[in-house]
Amino acid sequence: MAAVRLADIVAALGGQLHGDPDKPITRIAALDNADAQSISFLAHARHADKLTHTGAGCVIVAPSHLEAARARGSRGEPQ
């Protein structure tokens, strides 16, 4: 799959981007198996602990999880 800039995803879906707008995203993945080129999402508060451990390059979160998402920061670039 060709990479899509994170800024382009946010422009299409809406929301706020907190991070590198040029980050390449190549796939959608679950928090458990995401890597630095994956976008994932936190859909339910019961999975909030996974936010700390996910390797996802980007995680879509509700406003109630924004601070936790910002605290985790960005994950590394692809190998």
CATH code of residue 45:
3.40.1390.10
Domain total of the chain: 1
- Within a domain: residue 79? no
Q: Is residue 41 part of a domain?
A: yes
- Please indicate, yes or no, if residue 17 is contained in any of the structural domains: yes
Range(s) of the domain holding residue 55: 4-72
Evaluate whether residue 58 is within a structural domain.
yes
Place of tokens 């990479």: 3
pLDDT value at residue 55: 93
Task: Please give the average per-residue pLDDT across 54-76, as a whole number.
Answer: 86
pLDDT in tens, 11-57: 999 999 998 999 999 999 999 999 999 999 998 999 999 998 999 99
Please write down the HEC assignment for all residues of the chain: CCCEEHHHHHHHHCCCCCCCCCCEECEECCHHHCCCCEEEECCCHHHCHHHHHCCCCEEECCHHHHHHHHHHCCCCCCC
The reply to whether 33 falls in a domain is yes
